[in-house]
Amino acid sequence: MDSIHIKIKDKETYQHLMWFLKKFSKNELQVIEAKDSFKSIQNELRKELKEMDSGSMDMMELEEFDKELDDIIAHYED
């Protein structure tokens, strides 16, 4: 799969391009709105950073996580 990133300065050009791209089926082409996904990821990361800074986020050491993961895997292997 190939992908491209296009910056469009003119709103009318953007609308024409979107009209054209919508002519393709979802199997041929998927339009990913970068503004929306970037902002939502940015907001989520800011929220997580605030939780980390305030100490309200539950965190664990790598060794503790590794043991917990091993326990989960062992439970489902049986």
77 or 34, higher pLDDT: 77
4 or 49, higher pLDDT: 49
pLDDT band at residue 33 under the 50/70/90 scheme = confident
pTM: 0.42
DSSP 8-state code for residue 50: H
**Which is nearest to 7 in space by CA: 30, 34, 25?**
34
**Which is nearest to 18 in space by CA: 39, 50, 10?**
10
The model's pLDDT over 5-23, given as tens digits with 9 standing for 90+, comes to: 888 899 999 999 999 999 9
- Per the rule left: phi > 0, alpha: psi between -120 and 50, beta: everything else, 60 is beta
pLDDT score for 78 = 67
Average pLDDT estimate for 57-75: 92
